[in-house]
Amino acid sequence: MKNIAFIFGTRPEVIKLAPVILELKKYPEKYKVLIINTEQQKELSNQTLSYFGLKSDYNLDAMRDNQTLCGVQIRIMKALDEVFNKENIDAAIVQGDTMTVLCGALTSFYNKIPVLHVEAGLRSYNKFEPFPEEGIRQMVSRIADINFAPTEANKEALLKENIRRDTIHVVGNTVIDALSCLTKNVVEASRNFFISKGISDKNLVLITVHRRENHGTRLDNIIKAITYLAKKYSDFTFVIPVHPNPNVKSKIESAFSTYKNVKLLPPLEYPNLVYLMKHAHLILSDSGGIQEEAPAFGCPVVVLRYETERKEGIDAGVSVLAGADYNKIILESEKILSKDIKQTRLKVKNPYGDGLSACRIEKLIDKL
């Protein structure tokens, strides 16, 4: 019996680790699963965790308002140190590139406990885009003992950095497993939720924006571009699940509260968000996870970033980079909005995974 600790703190980490946790929990004779939530995003992580029917063993309540990156790091490290001193952990699993991932990997490393990194090898090679994530994932790769790379390109990136070949395993991205956890009925039940908000599944544009690089003047440009599109395409409904980050929330709310065809919603339960991706004519987003999920529905994405580590979506023709460039956002959006949805829906094999990643990860953990 091995004690496996899952360490996460944000919504995307929960979505991408839940399938792995559920897979390991199928084998209680092999694994004792310890779930540690740093609560780097308190509400978003807990909302999503309960959706998957999971409960954490530790909630570390690590966030404070207006905390600096150093402040968060110190708080998470201290809280994790206490857990590691109390528990007998055989291996720690972290996912992605957040501050929680860095702290989880470092705490394990300092305790000489193997670090298993899910979603290893994503790179933009610009340490400020995305910030601080690009730096964090490069640092974590130096100390990870096992690297679960979503794609061959991610594996190549790790090999170029002299990460040992025998530690890298291409398993696909677990985000596609999370999508497969949702039954058709669950997603379709979301229809009623949106009807109650006056949102039909026709002529929909889904917008999410939250990244640190887009705070400030970049967000102003993005808002201007959305305003232009909302005015011109008045028969479309622009749905924005507003991220709770105060740098984003206040600006979005004051820009759009009077627009009838711009619907501002609180962060959505995962199946509701999936429902929107399934029906949207177009997605405008700076999210990493959404870039990976959208190809499953063939939904075009205008990526509100200047760099992406998810180049597979671009190569597959599903996403296009527009950054926070007013003209480019409008140009790329209009290419899609001016056509019928039947013409713009793409039939592609999702380059990020096939929904079997968690099973592959379990088999490898068992073997290794």
Give the binding site for ligand UDP (CB under 6 A): 11-12, 15, 175, 208, 210, 241, 267-268, 270, 273, 287-290, 293
Residue 72 or 91: the one with the smaller Cβ distance to ligand UDP is 72
Q: Which of these is catalytic: 23, 39, 97, 292?
A: 97
What per-residue string of b and e applies to 89-125 under the rule 16 or more CB within 10 Å gives b? bebbbbbbbbbbbbbbbbbbbeeebbbbbbbbbbbbe
Copy the structure tokens of residue 93. 């699993």
Question: What does the DSSP assignment read for 139-169?
Answer: HHHHH-SEEEESSHHHHHHHHHTT--GGGEE
DSSP 8-state symbol, 339: S
Annotated active-site residue 212? The verdict is: yes
Annotated active-site residue 332? The verdict is: no
Residue 84 or 123: the one with the smaller Cβ distance to ligand UDP is 123
DSSP 8-state symbol, 319: E
Q: Which of these is catalytic: 23, 39, 119, 362?
A: 119
Sheet holding 168-170, edge to edge: 58-59, 31-37, 2-8, 91-95, 115-118, 146-149, 168-170
Please give the backbone phi and psi of residue 276, each rounded to the nearest 5 degrees, phi first.
-65, -40
Residue 256 or 270: the one with the smaller Cβ distance to ligand UDP is 270
Peptide bond into 132 cis (omega under 30): yes
CB of 182 to ligand UDP, least distance (A): 10
Q: Are 286 and 267 in contact (CB under 8 A)?
A: no
Q: Which of these is catalytic: 75, 123, 210, 360?
A: 210
Residue 241 or 355: the one with the smaller Cβ distance to ligand UDP is 241
Residue 31 or 51: the one with the smaller Cβ distance to ligand UDP is 51
Annotated active-site residue 169? The verdict is: no
CB of 194 to ligand UDP, least distance (A): 13
CB of 175 to ligand UDP, least distance (A): 6
CB of 288 to ligand UDP, least distance (A): 4
Annotated active-site residue 210? The verdict is: yes
Please work out, in degrees rounded to the nearest 5, the angle formed at the alpha carbon of residue 269 by the alpha carbons of 264 and 273.
65
Annotated active-site residue 279? The verdict is: no
Q: Which of these is catalytic: 211, 243, 310, 360?
A: 243
Q: Which of these is catalytic: 87, 212, 220, 354?
A: 212
The span from the CA of 208 to the CA of 280, in Å, is 13
The span from the CA of 10 to the CA of 18, in Å, is 12
CB of 29 to ligand UDP, least distance (A): 31
Annotated active-site residue 119? The verdict is: yes
CB of 234 to ligand UDP, least distance (A): 24
Residue 12 or 104: the one with the smaller Cβ distance to ligand UDP is 12
Please work out, in degrees rounded to the nearest 5, the angle formed at the alpha carbon of residue 358 by the alpha carbons of 353 and 364.
110
Q: Are 58 and 83 in contact (CB under 8 A)?
A: yes
Return the active site residues.
Answer: 97, 119, 133, 210, 212, 243
